[in-house]
Amino acid sequence: MIFLVAALLLMGVVLGTVAHIPLPVTLAAAAFIGCWLLVFAAREFHARGGRR
């Protein structure tokens, strides 16, 4: 999932979408999305009863 976030951020920079936003804002948004994905993954893992 972290790879996905990094790939999307890189694609945004290359395409110019993120190029107009200051770097600290971009990094903060990427960190927020990464944390959200980690929380989502942890909740899904525990909802399924751990490792099965």
Q: Which pLDDT tens digit goes with each residue over 29-48? A: 889 999 999 999 999 999 88
Only one residue has tokens 């890189």, namely 10
User: Is a pLDDT exceeding 80 seen at residue 14?
Assistant: no
pTM: 0.58
Residue with the bigger pLDDT between 6 and 38: it is 38
Query: CA-to-CA distance for 4 and 9, rounded, in angstroms?
Result: 9
Contact 34, 3 (CB under 8 A): no
Residue closest to 5 by CA, chosen among 41, 44, 47: 41
DSSP secondary structure code for residue 51 in this structure: -
